[in-house]
Amino acid sequence: MPDIFHAIRLKENGNLRKLASHIDEQLAEITKDDMVSYAVYYGEFQYQAAMLST
């Protein structure tokens, strides 16, 4: 089993939605027969947030 160093949850935005669309599709596939029970699907990809403007 691989080590997990950390997991974070970011507020949704258009860039993240695009990058995670394949993970969303996989979750839809594995829950298609039971969308009532709670399910979590983790994936990973590289992402760097834009600089905050002041």
10-residue stretch averages of pLDDT, the chain, 54 residues long:
73 84 86 82 77 74
The per-residue pLDDT for 28 is 87
Residue among 41, 16, 11 at smallest CA distance from 26: 41
The per-residue pLDDT for 1 is 63
Distance CA 21, CA 43 (A): 11
